[in-house]
Structures are given as structure tokens and as C-alpha cells.
Amino acid sequence: MFKSVLVANRGEIACRVFRTAKRMGLRTIAVYSEADAQALHVREADEAVRIGPAAARESYLDGAKVLAAAKATGAEAIHPGYGFLSENADFAEAVAAAGLIWIGPDPASIRAMGLKDAAKELMIQAGVPVTPGYQGADQSEATLTAEAARIGYPVLIKAVAGGGGKGMKRVDDPADFVAGLASAKREGAAAFGDDRVLIERYITRPRHIEVQVFGDRHGDVVHLFERDCSLQRRHQKVIEEAPAPGMSEAVRAAVTGAAIKAAKAVNYVGAGTIEFIADASDGLKADGIWFMEMNTRLQVEHPVTESVTGVDLVEWQLRVAAGEPLPLKQDEIKLNGWAMEARLYAEDPANGFLPSIGRLEHFVMPEGIRVDTGVEQGGEVSQFYDPMIAKLIVHADTREAAAARLAEAAGEVEVWPVKTNAGFLKRCLDHPRFVTGDVDTGFIAAEEAALQPDESAEATLAALTLIAEAATDVEAAGSDRFSPWGGQPGLSYGVRLNAPAQTMVWAHVDGRGVSGAVTPVEAGWRGAEGRTAQIGFDQVQAGEALFGYQVIDDGFVLFVDGEARRVTPHRAAVGSGAGAVSDGALRAPMPGKIVAAPVKAGDLVAKGQPVVVLEAMKMEHALTAPFDGVVEHVAAVGDQVVEAAVLAVVKAAD
């Protein structure tokens, strides 16, 4: 076994690899960009090397700089994590040429599976079923348009070098094909330096089933069962689980057998995932599952497989890279219970899931479960990298118990002022369809209305009522320091003769006014140890609900079921800020680059029509017309813009 390992990555996956490497007694080495100088993975490593500016292309994607860091620190092996250089065959070759150990598959295997079109052809030759489609060399618009018509709508356009939902567009109407093709090509070129695409038939009730495979240099290849990653948004996984709901032993044998066949076709070594698309219109069937792609690396969702098998996949990676045989034979790998993982993103579900950036002034994760993260309180969520900030992982005896515990954990997340999808995750996990396992990749789109937060005045006042009851009870005990209002106007206490005391609440919650009278009930509070010395955070329990709150200058933030609600006295209400469109101005929700402007000044637009497209955090975000009107101004393609910059102005139609 080698003695040191450099992780050519950042954030959560770097911290994850370091955890196992340290347990095995290895020296750990981090690399970091200027934006990550204070990042958690840098401090957790035994040694760290700065490799360049914030932009990934000048740091984490610069293989020469990573190799220079390895040489300078005496690293013996390089673990690529996922993303960045993890599936770059040229970099894998350069690592070996430098005399270092590459913790991953052979470059030939990466190349064979790295391009979706070539991989599909290879799988056809190996006898693995593939989704009907077109993966030809002719990339002309005319040919691709004709092939889409031949396949039949809806179709899925996919960047051949893509992954993580980037460069992937569903098209339902032939009239929208050319625009979808252009967008997929732009994303493919921006994310992977390759704008070629393939086209597949879009399965109307698709489920995403994938199989974890592992090979060694002694000729053995095993599977570690399947995962279901069907709950997705914009082709990006949101919640993953193992095993797959409704999976019979016969179908499991078919899909895992196909995965082993696919891995052996490329002489696979190390950790990999064979991804399949399944038609869920009539349950899982062996003849209704097709090869989609192979990821020649460790997956983001690998913890659910670790949870149900008891295997440390990173340890297996390190041992196999050192030349050791697989620690277990196929018949020794057992499936135990049910595991689920939820991806916690720094994004705003109420604003089209746009990424949210900034300093994590308050960052509290649930206790009693596995949390994999690369950030901490006081850290920064940068505009330069993927917005995933943590993974919440649970394991239980049954699927129902796992879903309930993960929903509870998502509701315990407290993050401020960066926005997250925690509340959205909880609503997904609580949804009756999810609880029964009735999930396909269209679940989120189909249930969009039910997955929105309850932002009615009644719901907000109900939450305020409970916090006021607790605060009233605490104040009655002579401990007004624990009131979240801190003595500010907006919460008053009154005494009525021959009647219970009454609390009057009037406030703004996220800019909306609410008010009401509250009669206190018996309530208690609990807080962190040493709470009397804290200004910031306590947890207050009233009735059956448990809330956390964070005091801020003009009020407090109330955390309820994963949502962060800013509560301010009536006098301190704030405006809508960046992104407001009431005046017809479309403002940048974050820093980024204008990559498309489908309209120009003077054009008539309808409500919901795309006006300008912003590229930020490796994804495109279309800003649409807030109402019918005329475009008065639109930013130029190529412009770099700051948050809240006006990108376009639409004047309402008379």
C-alpha cells in the first residue's frame, strides 16, 4: 500500500476521501484554488497546495498544476474524486507517466465509456440492451432534426461527453428542436469542451436504475447491487436510494448481469457505475431496462451502497489501486436494509431553483445521521463551483422508515442567509407517491404544485403563534433574553382582567405582512449548552413543533421544516431585492455570463417567453418575460454581469 494520496478535487468528495485515507494511515494532500483558500477540505488535509485562480479551468481542471503539486509534496497516488478530471483519460495517462498511481480505471476504459455515442455502440456489440436513438458522426442540424423525427417525439438531446444533466434537453415538439439543440451544444461545449450530441427516445415514465460495479487487476468484477436515482430535477439527481423499489430478484439478476457484462467488455478496474433507463409504465421488467451510460468513477450517491452493503468503497478504491484483490467475492456481498440520500443544494426553490451564493452565517446539520459535506458555518458558497453543499444519508430496516427519517432530517436543516432546497426535499420525501415508491424521473414536474411551500398568511401566522407562545412562556419565567424579538417592536405582551394573557403578533415574514392575537399555552424551551452566553441561536419548542431561530439585526430567522423565514417587525420590512420583476426589469439572480438573448429591443414578448439566458455555476438559467409586453432593453451576449444587474427590461403591453 502506498503511503500518501493527493485528492485532485475539492469540497465534500475531498473530505470524504480524506476520512478513509486517514483511517488507513495515509498522508493526505489537498489542492485548492484561490476561492477555496479557507475551505474545509484544505484544513482537513495534512498538506495543501494552491494551484491557481478560482476558475476551474485554471485550477482544478489544469492537470499540469495538479501533477506539479503531487511532485512538490511527494504524493504517491492521485484520487480524482468525481467531476473535474475524474473521467479525463489524458490526465490518467499523465499520472501514470509521472510514476504515480492513478486511483481509477485504465485510460482505455475511460475512453471507451467516456463518449455516450461510442459507449452505446460498444454495448450493442457486447449484447447489452440500449435505448433506441441516434449516435452517428453526422452532427449537422438537418441530420439531427431528421433523426429526431425518425425516433419520434418526445426525444432527449444529450451531449456525448456530458454528465450531471449538463448538455441534456428534452424536446416534446418538433418546433422546439432547433432551440433545444443549440442550448445542449452550448452547455456541452462550455462544460466539456465538446458540442457533439446524440439523440434518444424519451421514455414517458422513465426510472433511473444504476448498478455499482467494481473490478480489480486479478480479473474479478463484482456488483454491489442497484440504486434507484429516479427522483430528479432537470436531469440532476435529488434523492437516491438502495435497493430500488419494486425490484424483483429476476429483474435484479438481469440488470446486474448486464452491468457485469458491460464492465467486462472494457476490462474495467476500480469503482464504476452502469446506468440504465427503465420503463416504469407497468412495473420493472427485465426486457424494459436499457443501458444509458457508464460513469467511470465514484458516484456522488455511493454512500447509499455503502450503507446497505457495509462496504467502504473508497477503501476498496485505494486497495485495488495498490494492486490488491477485491476484499469480497460476489457471494459474500449482502444487501441489508434500506438507505436513502438527499442532496442538499445551495439554491432557491422559490426562484426557479437558481443557485444561491454567499457566506454561511448559520449552518446547522441534523444529528444522528451520516452527513457528508465540504462546508461549515462561516464558510463561503462560491459562484464558481457546483452548488451541492451536503449529502444527508440515512439507513433503516425498511424503505418507509428510511423515508420518514430522511424527511425528518431534511426538516432539521438550518442554513442562513444562503438559501437551500431542504424544505423542498422534505416535501418530496413526505409526498404520498414517494412514500409508496411510485416515482419516476417526471415526479417533480408532475407534482410541482404539491411540492411548493405553504406561504399563506395563515401558515406563517401559525408558525409565529407557536414561537410567540414559547417566547411568552419564557418571558413569564423572567428570561426575556431568550425572546427571538430581543425586545423589539412587533411582539407585545398584554394582561386582561379575569382572562388569560394575550400576545399580539404583527410582523413581516419574507416581506409579507401578518398579524394576529395569540393566547399562550404551556411551552418550554431548550438550547445549546452555554446558551446564556449566546446572542445568536437557541431552539424553542412549543407544543409538538420544534423551531430554531437566528437573531439578526432587524429581527430573526425562523427555521421551520427546512425553510428559513426572515421575520421582522412591521417597521423593518424589506423590499424584494435582486431578481424583482414588478417593474419589468429582469435582474441577475447571481453573477454570471450572458450566453444567449433570444429577443432584441423592440420585440413583442409573451409572459413566460425567454428573454435572456445567463450561465452561472456551470448551468444555463433562462430569465423570462414577467408579462406580455415590448422589450425595451436586453444585455449583450458575452457580457459578464454582477448580481442584481438589469439584464433586460420589458414594458407592459397597453
- If phi > 0 it is left, if psi is from -120 to 50 it is alpha, else beta; for residue 219 that is left
Q: In the structure, what pLDDT confidence band is assigned to residue 281 with cuts at 50, 70 and 90?
A: confident
For residues 399 and 8, what is the distance between their CA atoms, to the nearest angstrom?
35
Contact of 279 with 208, CB cutoff 8 Å: no
- Decide: 168 and 156 in contact? Cβ < 8 Å: yes
The yes-or-no verdict on residue 349 having pLDDT over 70 is yes
Whether pTM exceeds 0.95: no
SS3 category, 212: strand
Q: 381 pairs with which residues across the strands?
A: 358
Q: Which three cell numbers stand for residue 464?
A: 409565529
127: left (phi over 0), alpha (psi -120 to 50) or beta: left
State yes or no: pLDDT of 382 exceeds 60: yes
Where helices occur in 541-635 by DSSP H, the ranges are none
How many CB atoms sit inside 10 A of residue 563's CB?
A: 24
Please tell me the predicted confidence (pLDDT) of residue 56: 94
Do residues 277 and 285 lie in contact, with contact meaning Cβ atoms separated by under 8 Å?
A: no
pLDDT of amino acid 282 = 86
Residues forming beta bridges with residue 19, ordered by sequence position: none
Which has the closest alpha carbon to 197: 170, 171, 162?
A: 162
Name, in order, each residue with C-beta under 8 angstroms of 519's C-beta and a sequence gap of 6 or more: 500, 501, 502, 503
Burial class (CB in 10 A: 0-12, 13-18, 19+), 398: exposed
501 has a pLDDT exceeding 60 = no
Q: What is the pLDDT of residue 162?
A: 76
Between 15-24, 92-101, 526-535, 621-630, the lowest mean confidence (pLDDT) is in: 526-535
Nearest CA-CA partner of 591 in 600, 578, 582: 578
Please state the rounded mean pLDDT for residues 370-377. 97
Residue 320 has pLDDT above 60, yes or no: yes
The Cα–Cα gap between 225 and 241 comes to 11
- What pLDDT is stored for residue 505 in this prediction? 56
Q: How many CA atoms lie within 13 A of 158 on its CB side?
A: 26
Give the three-state DSSP class for 186. helix
Asked whether residue 536 carries a pLDDT value surpassing 70, the answer given is no
Task: Give me the chain's average pLDDT, please.
Answer: 85
**Any idea which residues carry the catalytic annotation?**
297
More confidently predicted of 116 and 80: 80
Res. 569 pLDDT band, cuts 50 70 90: low
C-alpha separations of 115 from 119, 139, 339, 371, 545 in Å: 6, 14, 31, 33, 50
pLDDT of residue 216: 98
Could you give the CA distance from residue 419 to residue 479 in angstroms, rounded to a whole number? 31
Please tell me the distance from the alpha carbon of residue 622 to that of residue 180, in angstroms, as a whole number. Answer: 13
Range 283-304 average pLDDT: 94
pLDDT digits (tens, 9 = 90+) for 423-466: 999 999 999 999 999 999 999 999 998 998 876 655 555 555 55
42-62 mean pLDDT? 97
Mean per-residue pLDDT, 498-520:
57
Q: List phi, psi (to 5°) of 486.
A: 60, 30
C-alpha cell, 185: 451544444
3-class secondary structure, 187: helix
Grid cell digits, residue 72 = 512538490
Helices (H), 8-73: 11-23, 40-44, 63-73
Which position has the higher pLDDT, 297 or 131? 297
CB 119 within 8 A of CB 161: no
What is the percentage of the chain residues whose pLDDT exceeds 70? 82
pLDDT for the residue numbered 514: 61
Tell me if 43 sits within 8 A of 35, measured CB to CB. no
Q: Name the residue with higher pLDDT: 459 or 41.
A: 41
Q: How far is CA 474 from CA 423, 515, 526, in A?
A: 28, 21, 10
Distance CA 521, CA 536 (A): 25
Q: What SS3 class is residue 294?
A: strand
Q: What would the DSSP string read from start to end of 108-158?
A: HHHHHHHSHHHHHHHHHHHT--B-SEE--S---HHHHHHHHHHH-SSEEEE
Integer angstrom CA distances of residue 572 from 418, 482, 510: 20, 21, 11
Return phi, psi of residue 565, to 5°: -115, 125
Rounded to an integer, the average pLDDT of 354-381 is: 94
Q: Which helix (H) or strand (E) holds 479?
A: none
φ and ψ at 339, to 5 degrees?
A: -130, 150
For 576-608, write each residue's pLDDT tens digit.
333 444 568 888 877 788 999 999 999 999 988
CA distance 609 to 648: 13
Q: Would you say 577 and 644 are in contact if contact means Cβ atoms under 8 Å apart? A: yes
Q: Are 250 and 285 in contact (CB under 8 A)?
A: no
